[in-house]
A and B are shown apart, each in its own frame.
Chain A
Amino acid sequence: MSQPTPHLKVANDGQVTVVELTPKKILDEMSIMQIGQQLYALAAGSASPRMALDFTNVAHMSSSALGVLITLHKRVREKGGRMVLCNIQPAIYEIFAITRLNEIFSIQANRQEAILALQ
C-alpha cells in the first residue's frame, strides 16, 4: 500500500520502509525542513526502523539536505535501526563522496539491493 506525502512516496516491503524522494531538486530550505520532519516522523513511528531511501528522482541537492540525512541516520541508529540509500545518480553520489558521507551511509545500487541489505 503506497502512501503519498508532498515530498515522499512511502511503501512497506516486509519490515522495510521504502521511501522514494519525489522532488527532482532538494534545494530550498523550506522543502528540506518538511522532508526532514516527514522522515523523522517515519523513523519515530517504528520501534526499530529499517529505511530504504530511494534517490531515483533526485538530480540536485544541497548541503542542508545532507544535514537532514545525517540527523535521520543518527535517529535511526539510536533506535537500533538501519538506513540504506539507493538509486543515487552519479552527480549526486559525487556530493556524498566529496563530503565523505559515502563512508557513513550504506549505499546500494538499487531498491532491491537496499531491501536485501536491510533484511
Chain B
Amino acid sequence: MVIASDLEAARQVENTILDEVERYGYSDASAFSIRLAIEEGLNNAIKHGNGYDPNKTVQVAFAVTPQQVVISITDEGPGFDPARVPDPTCDENLEKPCGRGIMLMRAYMDEIHYNPCGNQVRMVKKNS
C-alpha cells in the first residue's frame, strides 16, 4: 500500500489495519499498542522522513494473522540511525517536548527493527 505524505491517508491505513486486528479478536490492550505504534511510525515517516513533502510517498505493508501483526513502514527520506536518538527517559531529556515516538513503539510492540539506512521500520506484535 502506497500513501501520500498526508496524515488523513495515514489515518485510513491505520483504520484498515485496526479493522483486521479487531476481526482476528486481538485484545483491547494489543489493539491499543498496535494503534499507538502505527501512529508513531506513520508520523515519523511523514514528518521526519518525508518532511510533509507532497511529492514523496510512504509505503505501508502489513500482515495480520491470528498469531501476530507485522507492519512495515518505509519513507523516502534519507533515514537515520535509531541508536543515536537520545533516550527520552534520561533525566536531562525528561522535559524535552519531542523524541518519545520510537521509545513508545519499542515499549508497545514485541519487535521493532530498522533497515540499515533507517528509512524503514518493521514492527511485530504477537497475539497474546
Binding site for B on A (CB under 8 A): 27-30, 60, 62-64, 66-68, 70-71, 73-74, 91, 95, 98-101, 103-104
Tally of contact residues, B, Cβ under 8 A:
23
Which residue of chain B lies nearest to A73 when distances are taken between CB atoms in the complex?
A: B95
* Bound-complex Cα distance A60 to B7 (A): 16
Q: Which 4 residue pairs are nearest across A and B when measured between Cβ atoms?
A: A67-B97, A63-B100, A63-B101, A70-B97
B35 near A60: Cβ-Cβ < 8 Å: yes
Q: Does B83 contact A (CB under 8 A)?
A: no
A99 near B104: Cβ-Cβ < 8 Å: yes
Stretch at the interface among B39-47, B61-69, B72-80, B116-124: B39-47
- Which of B36, B96, B107 is the one whose CB lies under 8 Å from A62? B36
User: Which of chain A's residues have a CB closer than 8 A to the CB of B107?
Assistant: 98
B43 near A66: Cβ-Cβ < 8 Å: no
Which residue of chain B lies nearest to A74 when distances are taken between CB atoms in the complex?
A: B95
Which residue of chain B lies nearest to A59 when distances are taken between CB atoms in the complex?
A: B32
Q: Main SS of the interface on chain B?
A: helix
Which residue of chain B lies nearest to A103 when distances are taken between CB atoms in the complex?
A: B94
* Bound-complex Cα distance A101 to B99 (A): 13
Which chain B residues numbered 27 to 43 have a C-beta less than 8 Å away from chain A? 29, 32, 35-36, 39-40, 43
* Bound-complex Cα distance A27 to B40 (A): 9
A63 near B94: Cβ-Cβ < 8 Å: no
Q: Can you pick out 24 interface pairs between chain A and chain B where the beta carbons lie within 8 Å of each other?
A: A27-B35, A28-B7, A29-B47, A30-B7, A60-B35, A60-B39, A62-B43, A62-B104, A63-B43, A63-B98, A64-B43, A66-B97, A66-B100, A67-B97, A67-B98, A71-B97, A74-B95, A95-B36, A95-B104, A98-B103, A99-B88, A99-B100, A99-B104, A104-B94
Binding site for A on B (CB under 8 A): 7, 11, 29, 32, 35-36, 39-40, 43, 47, 88-89, 94-101, 103-104, 107
Residue with the greatest number of chain A CB neighbours at <10 A, chosen from B47, B95, B96, B99: B95
Which residue of chain A lies nearest to B97 when distances are taken between CB atoms in the complex?
A: A67
* Bound-complex Cα distance A62 to B88 (A): 14
